[in-house]
Amino acid sequence: MNIGPSDPIDHADITQGSDLSGMDLTGVDLTSADLSEAYLSNVILAGADLSNADLSGADLTDTTLAGAYLSNATLTGADLSNAGLSGADLSDADLINTDLTDATLRG
């Protein structure tokens, strides 16, 4: 599924395998969403709530997750290379086999 930048965002529209590349989803509530295998590269998810979300195998390269809530999220095998995670809450997140190459984790 492709959601255009001007389309309204509905939690039900964002599902497994969604292509949201380049979108601004600042502050969106995606609690418990199934975003496994989703294409989220270059997405702005600053302050978004992704707690308990399934992001396994998702492409999050160059994504802004500053101040995002990722507690209890599943990020197994996700690609977060070059992602901005400053101030993100990763408590109890599953980061097994997650690619964090050149990701910003402090601040």
CA distance 75 to 53: 9
Q: Which pLDDT score is estimated for 44? A: 94
CA distance 25 to 7: 11
Q: Each residue's pLDDT tens digit in the chain (107 positions)?
A: 444 444 455 656 666 778 889 999 999 899 999 999 999 999 999 999 999 999 999 999 999 999 999 999 999 999 999 999 999 999 999 999 999 999 998 85
The pair of three-digit structure tokens given for residue 76, joined into one six-digit string: 């197994």
Q: Which pLDDT score is estimated for 13? A: 62
Q: Exposure of 82 by Cβ count < 10 A (0-12 exposed, 13-18 middle, 19+ buried)? A: middle
